[in-house]
Structure 1
Amino acid sequence: MYIGVDYYPEQWPKERWTEDVRLMKELGVNVVRLAEFGWQLMEPEEGVYDFSLYDEAIELLTKNGIQVVLGTPTATPPAWMIEKYPEILPVDQNGTVISFGARRHYTVNSEVYRDFSAKIVEKMAKRYGQHESIIGWQTDNEYGHEKSDRSYGNVDQKAFQTWLKEKYQTLDTLNEAWGTVFWSQTYTAWTQIPVPRKVFQEHNPSLLLDFDRFCADAYTSYNKLQTDLLRKHIRSEQWITHNFVYTGQAINQWDMAKDLDFISFDNYPVWGGLPEPIAPAAIAHQHDLCRSSKDGKGFWVMEELSGAQGWSSIGYLPRPGHIKLWTYQAIARGAEAIVYFRWRAARFGTEEFCHGVLDHDGKPKRKYREVKEVIDSLSVFGDDWIASEYKADVAVYYDVENAWAWGIQPQSNAFDYKHEFLRFYSPAHRMNALTDIVTKESNLDGYKVLVVPVYFLTDPLVNEKITRFAKDGGTVILSYRAGVKEQNNFVVEDTLPGALRELAGVEINEYESLQLGQNNSVEGVQGSVSGVNSVASIWCDLVEPTTAEVLAEYRSCFYEKTAAITKNKFGKGTVYYVGTALENEIMDALYADIFKDAGVTIMSSSGEEVEAVTRTAEDGSVFLSVVNHSTENKGSLTLPEGTWVDPVSEEVVKGELSLEPLAAHVFRSR
């Protein structure tokens, strides 16, 4: 297994490099990532290339048995390029050109920038593509991060118009697909079509969704430009990846992943001014996204937080034990390599308060010792743990285009797509049921439960898959606002939930959008939710059963006693409809009943802070990873039947497992 650090030799005197490498070897590091921000050093002036600094750093690392991942440096075009070719700069929605001075200051729609990118990538590939100790490549860095995914300049407008012409062929087809008769927006020439810069009201939602698709396709093709060039010159054993981040960008990770050998991502459970880490389920969901992007293939964490992070505002200091816990959590959910960010905190530049394994003084202290403990513990497993099989009972549907559609029309100021997705994902996480993220291209065979959260923008292929899954005996959980939109972002003409109406056995003839501070209430009237009360927020579908039975009702407003949760038999399966945003207690009660009936394997634990994941080794034995995310409270887990051994401590456990705060263990069945 690869365990490493992100290293920036260009930021330190060469006299320090030898000591850095000595400490890395002592730590047990076997890989480093280099060079993703080094364009100015590699090409100090146009057409003049100098790789001497990285040659020297790579030689020192590899001579000491440390292998290298190289990043292409295209996230940071140098100052000379901007001065001479300012047209590569991106433009925001207000028409303001984004200045040089940070990073990601380019638009992928600039042919000038693509040409420069191709040249530097090819020069790097020719120089290092046959190097035996360079094991792989990372393209660019965090595509689309920091709102760099969408650009609204003249070059982007021309590219958008070309993209639309290729998609629709004729203006008549586009005008019909967008409904441009509304507000007299009919286009009579391709050159009339804008990029969605600031307007007095709001742009056509169909245009906005296509613009997001266009932006994603532009980044996918830009990435393919790099991967194609690399593959021409690198040896077959060298792989190519990209380190994604999950901040709502117009990036289609699944499309881009087709051109990568595997994906990577940057795991920051806490950053900037956050007072505490994000919810354990939110971290787990990101790992599930990674694993699911290549049909279950393992991924790399190319940046794993090791110290307090921030630019002008510094975030929460990870507590003793967090490094091990987040490492174990990532590996349990599919990570095959962990690269800690960063080796040493920089003394200058925007990221000088992004703390690393070493702090500014370069001395090994607590975090260094913690990483050492993690690396030593992982050596006990060899590659057995990462090679074991992760097999989920529960599939959770995700479509990036659905997320974009919600971003365009959230309909309530209380709505946040990621939060609502997690509302329906988290009960499975709290019960330690194994989950996969599935998309429109996924095969649903073998899953017992399919969760389809806030399925606003529908797809006929997905509708058919959901229907067949239920008909064949699967259990489906639908939520409010299911079935509302068609692929062109038009509202469906059918009574809601549209194409899913018969499947759910309900009709939605009215609904209410609840804004911040507005609530209703719901009470369970049947089954496991009977007598359980919950605040209802964000949205209320007034659910009218046709063939479904009522499990919960609203308790206030004129629609008091109207159904809020229903259950419908469909074919050999069962379909649940949750018509509002509910609290954890009632959601957990509902999911407990669903999982019991569907035969989903769960593990009982004390609270949502305890997370357990099982994986099956080739010899049939089972790895059980258990972590307690709480920094203050002990936790417990009812272990699966049998005897479990901690290969690191050789401790034998069975029955009820007690967990200290921030405890992280891996057990193997015996």
Structure 2
Amino acid sequence: MYIGVDYYPEQWPKERWNTDLELMQQLGINVIRIGEFAWGLIEPEEGTFDFSLFDEALDLMYEHGFDVVLGTPTATPPAWLIEKYPDVLPVDKYGRKIGFGARRHYTVNSEVYQCLSKKIVQKMGEHYGHHPAVIGWQTDNEYGHEQSDRSYGEYDKQAFHTWLQKKYGTLDELNERWGTIFWSQTYTKWCQIPVPTVVYQEHNPSLLLDFDRFCADAYTRYNKLQVDTLRESISDRQFITHNFVYTGLAIDQLDMAKDLDFISFDNYPVWGGLAEPITPAAIARQHDLCRGTKDGKNYWVMEELSGAQGWSQIGYLPRPGHLKLWTYQAISRGAEAIVYFRWRAARYGTEQFCHGILDHDGKPGRKYAEVKDVIASLAPFADKWITSKVQADVAFYHDPENDWAWQIQPQSDQFNYINECLRFYAPAHDLNVQTDMIRGHEDFSTYKVIIVPIYFLTKKHVNDRLKDYVKRGGTVIFTYRTGVKNEDNVVTDLTLPGDVADMAGISIRDYESLREQKRSSIRGISAPLLTHTSPVHVWCDYIEADSAEVLAVYEDEWFSDKAAITKNSYGNGHVYYIGCGVEHDFLKRLYIDIFNNTGIAVHETPSNIEVIRRETSSHSYLTVLNHGVNQGYDVELPDQGQPWKDIETGKIYDRNVHVPRLGCLVCVRDK
């Protein structure tokens, strides 16, 4: 297994390099990522390339026995490039050109920038494509991050028109599908179609969604340009990856991943301005997204937080034990390599307060000792552990286009896409039920339950596959605002929930956006929710049950006769519809019943405990993590027909184990 650090030799005196590499050797790491921000150093002026610094650094790393991942430096176009070609700069939605001075200051739709990118990638590939230390490449850095996913300049407009012509063929087709007759927006020339800069009110939602699709496609093509350029000259033994972020950007990670050997991810459970880390479920969901981006293939964490992080503000200081906890959580959910960001905190530049394994003084301390302990603890078993697989009984549908549609029309000031996804993901996580993230092309028959949250923008091929899945005995959980739009971001003319109304056995004619902290409430009238109540937030679908059984109703002066949660038999399976933003404990009670009825093992633990199961043909692995910072817990281990063995200490556990605060336990047993 690879455990490494992100290192920037260009930011430190050469006489310090040996000291750093010797400290890394003592730490126990085996891989280093370098180079992803070094364009100006490698190409100090156009057409002049100087590899001397990285030649020296790579040779020294090779002498010390390290493998290296080399980044293409296109996330930071240098000052000379912007001075000579200012039109490569992106333009924001207000029509303002984004200036030089930070990073990601380019539009991928600039042909000039594409040519310049190809040239430096080509030169780097030719120079380092067979270097014995270089095992792989990372293209660019965090595509689309820092709101760089969308650009609205003239190059973008021209490229958008070309993209639209290819998609629709004729203006008549586009006008019909977008409904441009509304507000006299009918287009008679392609050049009339705007990029969606700021207007008095709001743009056509169909235009906005297609613009997001166009932006995602543009980044996929730009990444493919780099990948294809590298493939021409690098060794077959060298991989190509990219370090994604999953924050609602106009990036289609699944599409881009087709050109990569595997995907990577930057894991920051806490960042500047946050008073405490995000929830364990929120971290877990991102890891599940990584695993689902390339059909279950393992991934790298190319940046794993190792200290307090922030630019102008500094976030929560990770407590002793957090580094090991987040490392073990990542590996348990599919990471096969961990690269800590960063080796040493920078003394200058924007990231001065992104603390690393070493702080500004460069001296080993608490974090160095903790990472050393993590590496030592993993050494005896990590290579076998990472070959095991998560066996998920539950699938969680995720489509970035649905996210984009919600960003265009959130409909409630209380709505946040990630938070609402977590509303329906967290109960399964808390019950320690393993989940896969799916996009709709996977084999549904391998899952006992499919959760389809806030399915606002629906797709016919997904709907048809869900119907077939339920008819064959599967269980689907839909939530509020399902079935509202088609793929053109146009509202259906069917009674809600649209194309899936028949399988849900319901009709929805009234609904309400709960704004400004307004709440409603529901009451269970049938098992398993009988007599239980819950406040609800964000949204209420007032459901009329056609063939469905009513499980909960609204407690409301006007809509007390309407259903809030229903269950319908469809073919040999069942469809649940949750019509509101119900609270966690109430939803957890419903999930327990659904999982029990579908043969999914539920393992209830204290709220801060996370249990993850992985399998090989011969062994089962069990990870138990305590995310709590205040207390330890006695945890009952699942499946007590056979004891579990602590993989680090060899201790045998028949039933209970005590997990201290921020504690990690990995157990194994034969099948």
Tell me if both proteins adopt one fold, taking TM over 0.5 as the criterion. Answer: yes
Tell me what 1:466 maps to: 466
Matches within 5 A, 1:624-663: 624-640=622-638, 641=640, 642-663=642-663
Once the two structures are TM-superposed, the CA of residue 177 in structure 1 deviates from its matched residue by: 1.1
Once the two structures are TM-superposed, the CA of residue 636 in structure 1 deviates from its matched residue by: 3.7
How far apart, in 2, do the equivalents of 1:202 and 1:606 lie? 46
Answer whether contact 2:61 2:133 (CA < 8 A) is retained. no
Tell me what 2:175 maps to: 175
How far apart, in 2, do the equivalents of 1:549 and 1:635 lie? 39
How far apart, in 1, do the equivalents of 2:547 and 2:232 lie? 59
Residue 29 of structure 1: SS of its match in structure 2? coil
Tell me what 2:597 maps to: 597
Could you tell me which runs of 5 or more consecutive residues in structure 2 were left unpaired when the two chains were aligned: none
Give deviations 1:220-276, integer Å, cap 9, x for gaps.
000000000111111111110000012211000000000000000100000011000
Tell me what 2:135 maps to: 135
Tell me what 2:540 maps to: 540
Q: Which moved more, 1:13-22 or 1:626-635?
A: 626-635
Q: Residue type matched to 1:395 in 2? A: A
Tell me what 1:509 maps to: 509
Change over 3 Å in CA distance of 1:465–1:637 after alignment to 2: farther
Q: Residue type matched to 1:144 in 2? A: G
Give deviations 1:361-387, integer Å, cap 9, x for gaps.
111111000100110011010411000
How far apart, in 2, do the equivalents of 1:197 and 1:635 lie? 53
Matches within 5 A, 1:204-283: 204-283=204-283
Note if 1:304 corresponds to 2:304.
Answer: yes
Structure-1-length-normalised TM-score: 0.99
Give deviations 1:380-410, integer Å, cap 9, x for gaps.
1041100012110000001110000000000
Tell me what 1:289 maps to: 289
Once the two structures are TM-superposed, the CA of residue 658 in structure 1 deviates from its matched residue by: 2.3
How far apart, in 2, do the equivalents of 1:21 and 1:301 lie? 21
Residue 237 of structure 1: SS of its match in structure 2? coil
Answer whether contact 1:516 1:538 (CA < 8 A) is retained. no
Residue 387 of structure 1: SS of its match in structure 2? coil
Tell me what 2:87 maps to: 87
Residue 605 of structure 1: SS of its match in structure 2? coil
Answer whether contact 1:263 1:290 (CA < 8 A) is retained. yes
Answer whether contact 2:59 2:133 (CA < 8 A) is retained. no
Q: Which moved more, 1:464-473 or 1:590-599?
A: 464-473
Tell me what 1:411 maps to: 411
Tell me what 1:202 maps to: 202
Q: Which moved more, 1:436-445 or 1:407-416?
A: 436-445
Q: Residue type matched to 2:80 in 1? A: W
Tell me what 1:17 maps to: 17
Answer whether contact 1:205 1:408 (CA < 8 A) is retained. yes
Residue 191 of structure 1: SS of its match in structure 2? helix
Tell me what 2:55 maps to: 55
Answer whether contact 1:610 1:636 (CA < 8 A) is retained. no
Give deviations 1:438-474, integer Å, cap 9, x for gaps.
0022221210000000000000000011111111111
Once the two structures are TM-superposed, the CA of residue 656 in structure 1 deviates from its matched residue by: 2.2
How far apart, in 2, do the equivalents of 1:176 and 1:508 lie? 27
How far apart, in 2, do the equivalents of 1:286 and 1:562 lie? 36
Answer whether contact 2:479 2:580 (CA < 8 A) is retained. yes
Q: Residue type matched to 1:282 in 2? A: A
Matches within 5 A, 1:179-198: 179-198=179-198
How far apart, in 2, do the equivalents of 1:636 and 1:128 lie? 52
Q: Residue type matched to 1:637 in 2? A: V
Note if 1:613 corresponds to 2:612.
Answer: yes
Answer whether contact 2:347 2:360 (CA < 8 A) is retained. yes
How far apart, in 1, do the equivalents of 2:50 and 2:244 lie? 28
Structure-2-length-normalised TM-score: 0.99
Note if 1:336 corresponds to 2:336.
Answer: yes
Tell me what 1:159 maps to: 159
Q: Residue type matched to 1:614 in 2? A: R
Residue 349 of structure 1: SS of its match in structure 2? coil
How far apart, in 2, do the equivalents of 1:406 and 1:604 lie? 33
Answer whether contact 2:471 2:571 (CA < 8 A) is retained. yes
How far apart, in 1, do the equivalents of 2:331 and 2:411 lie? 38
Once the two structures are TM-superposed, the CA of residue 653 in structure 1 deviates from its matched residue by: 1.3
Residue 232 of structure 2: SS of its match in structure 1? helix
Q: Residue type matched to 1:570 in 2? A: Y
Once the two structures are TM-superposed, the CA of residue 98 in structure 1 deviates from its matched residue by: 0.3
Q: Residue type matched to 2:612 in 1? A: V
1:622 aligned to which of 620, 623, 637 = 620
How far apart, in 1, do the equivalents of 2:430 and 2:4 lie? 31
Q: Residue type matched to 2:461 in 1? A: L
Give deviations 1:141-198, integer Å, cap 9, x for gaps.
0000000000001111111011101111111111111111000001111111100000
Answer whether contact 2:93 2:196 (CA < 8 A) is retained. yes
Give deviations 1:537-573, integer Å, cap 9, x for gaps.
1110011111110100100230013110001111111
Answer whether contact 2:62 2:132 (CA < 8 A) is retained. no
Once the two structures are TM-superposed, the CA of residue 528 in structure 1 deviates from its matched residue by: 1.5
Identity of aligned residues (%): 60
User: What is the CA RMSD across the aligned residues, in angstroms?
Assistant: 0.8
How far apart, in 1, do the equivalents of 2:527 and 2:635 lie? 26
How far apart, in 2, do the equivalents of 1:202 and 1:382 lie? 52
Q: Residue type matched to 1:610 in 2? A: I
How far apart, in 1, do the equivalents of 2:491 and 2:510 lie? 14
Tell me what 1:576 maps to: 576
Q: Which moved more, 1:299-308 or 1:596-605?
A: 596-605
Tell me what 1:447 maps to: 447
Which stretches of structure 1, 4 residues or more, deviate above 3 A after TM superposition?
none
Answer whether contact 2:522 2:552 (CA < 8 A) is retained. yes
